[in-house]
Amino acid sequence: MAEAHKKTVKKEKAAPKAKAPAAKKKKVEEAPKAEIKAAEAKAAAVGHHVHEEKKAFVAPKPRLKPALPKGPKYYGTGRRKEATAKVWLTAGTGKLTLNGKSLKEYFCGRKLLEFIVNRPFAATQLAGKYDVHAELLGGGVPSQADAIRMGIARALVVLNPALKTILKREGLMTRDPRMKERKKYGLKRARRAFQYTKR
């Protein structure tokens, strides 16, 4: 009798132990499925949101050319360092328009830069006879002034080829080839090395 009682007690003890892991397995299996479904729903929502943003994206407006007056126009391109100037000359009273601004407004009253821009007119004695419309791209303000000067000189040569000798004598037809030297591997800048420390 004692042996039979021991066997039944063992069976009762063993039975709940076998059931418990099965219940845990179900919970463990169910939890990842729920998490996966939630993650998929989030991803779908985010993807839909991104798609909406892409649709809402508006392309940047194209660069508008300066509004030029009617009549004959003479074009010249000037460059200096990274700056480029597209210059149009038209008959007028000597008004300069640079990216839609006046000469003083664009150069903030810097007299030296204004003098550089007006040099081709001073050399050819045509000051106050032509209006300048220029579109400036890249570079700094001083290099843009040099680029405009070259553009005006080239446009004057298109207007009257006889002016080329005068402008060349003044050095206004020569493109300044000096550019920023590229950085070298192992150096701080083009030639500047890192500081040497002995200890």
Q: Could you give the CA distance from residue 90 to residue 159 in angstroms, rounded to a whole number?
A: 10
52-80 pLDDT tens trace: 555 677 777 776 666 777 778 899 999 99
* Burial group, residue 44, by CB count within 10 angstroms (0-12, 13-18, 19+): exposed
Q: Does residue 148 carry a pLDDT above 90? A: yes
Pairing of strands 83-91, 96-98: unpaired
* CB 176 within 8 Å of CB 80: yes
Global pTM value: 0.65
Q: What is the CATH code of the structural domain delimited by 74-169?
A: 3.30.230.10
Which residue ranges make up each domain of the chain?
10-49, 74-169
Q: Are 135 and 86 in contact (CB under 8 A)?
A: yes
Q: Mean pLDDT lowest for which of 50-54, 175-179, 187-191?
A: 50-54
